[in-house]
Amino acid sequence: MVLKVNTSVFFLLIKLMVCYSRHLQATINPTIGAPWPMPQKYSPSNKVYMLDESTFRFEATGETCDILTSAFDRYKQIIFDTTFRFQPKHGTDTENALTVASVKVESECDRFPSLESDESYDLTVSETGIVINANAVWGALRGLETFSQLIVNKYFINGTTITDFPRFMHRGMLIDTSRHFLSVDVIKKHVEAMAQNKFNVSHWHIVDDPSAPFPEMSQKGSYPGPGHVYTASNVLDIIGYARMRGIRVIPEFDTPGHTQSWGKGIPDLLTKCYRKGEFDGNYGPIDPSKNSTYTFLETFFRDIANTFPDQYIHLGGDEVSFGCWKSNPDITTFMSKMSFGTSYSKLEQYYMQNLLNIIGKKLNKGYLIWQEVIDNGAMVQPDTVVEVWKRGYVEELAKITKLGYKTLLSSCWYLNYISYGDDWRK
């Protein structure tokens, strides 16, 4: 499986971009007190106002909740702890410093962000004060982030009028903690960086072939040594941290392939591979022919559904090798019984439909899958979201949407583009 995003590379790239920018200073100047990303409507003025650190405060004039009050404390620290130095050249009104930022949220706070969350906001900075208006608390968070970006040297801000809303409802980043275990603190730094750039979905590829750092499977499936496991409290801590920043956490448990680490702790889950009619000691994907497989999956994903509040779970489905299935005599017998002939894509379809029924009908969750399931000719539920990650994505998107599925594009947005393994050493 090609590593879709590596957080370590994310922070390395930021450092590289900073170094690279130093070579471009003759032609490109950094923006000062400008928002990122560019709002839908952005009208700065030459009027500069002062903020009084000793008296400045945020004030909720509409609905409020723990998300908003926590954001007030966080952004006051962000704003006045900055070390960036800038002296305004325009008229600064030091006698009439702005002391209050009024934030009005129209609707009662949702418990968690969702695909349908309203992130729109209006922001005004003028001589009459600082005002952020938002329909929902998630828009207020985006407005507070923009406000913090407008301030320079702790004290100064341009007069500004902004109307903003995201172009895309799903703006995600994927981290892979199976191949590269990331501590809770590093994951939180990643979430913080997402909030600064107004991303709203943390796609957590939490287990894979190399390791399963997750309860139940972790005793035998995680990397050796202490500290390579996420406890239930760790997971809830990360979800809560992301929630305060308006970021959804979508877990990915990729099956039926990429499950070697699962098999270490779950007996009889994986397919035994045969050579010349005998078990050769190797294991392949999850065995779709056993009823016990679906009993386990329902129990496992029920726990996942209860732990992760988001309405979606990513179920993987990429890069399933049919070789081991083809070698197994029990699966060959099952294929004949089900009238699948030699079409192993039908076996994959059988597995995925059973899994989607568990997730959708029994657990009442939505689901995402990788594009290979569709590429292999398998039919899935009409409400499945198909994520495209391979080259040729334009044609792939056209094919998938023509079939009536919703799609999610990640193909052209890699932060790392590796052939495989530890190319980062180069």
Cβ atoms within 10 Å of 45's Cβ, excluding its own: 12
CATH dotted code for 41-164: 3.30.379.10
Task: Express each pLDDT in 263-319 by its tens digit.
Answer: 998 999 999 999 999 999 999 999 999 999 999 999 999 999 999 999 999 999 999
CB 188 within 8 A of CB 181: no
Where do the structural domains in the chain lie, given as residue ranges? 41-164, 172-420
374 Cβ neighbours under 8 A, 6+ residues apart: 380, 386, 399, 400, 403, 405
Task: Express each pLDDT in 48-102 by its tens digit.
Answer: 999 988 899 999 999 999 999 999 999 999 998 864 444 555 555 556 689 999 9
Cα–Cα distance measured from residue 211 to residue 254, given in angstroms and rounded to the nearest whole number: 12
> Do 41-164 and 172-420 come out as alike in CATH topology?
no
Cα–Cα distance measured from residue 54 to residue 58, given in angstroms and rounded to the nearest whole number: 13
Q: Residue 116: what pLDDT? A: 94
Q: What pTM value is reported for the model?
A: 0.88
The class of domain 172-420 in CATH terms is: alpha beta
Q: Residue 418: what pLDDT? A: 56
Among this protein's residues, is 319 annotated catalytic? Answer: yes
Our CA angle for 397, 399, 405, nearest 5°, is: 75
Q: Is the pLDDT of residue 141 over 50?
A: yes
Catalytic, out of 53, 108, 319, 395: 319
H-only helix segments in 183-337: 184-196, 218-221, 232-243, 260-263, 291-307, 323-327, 329-337
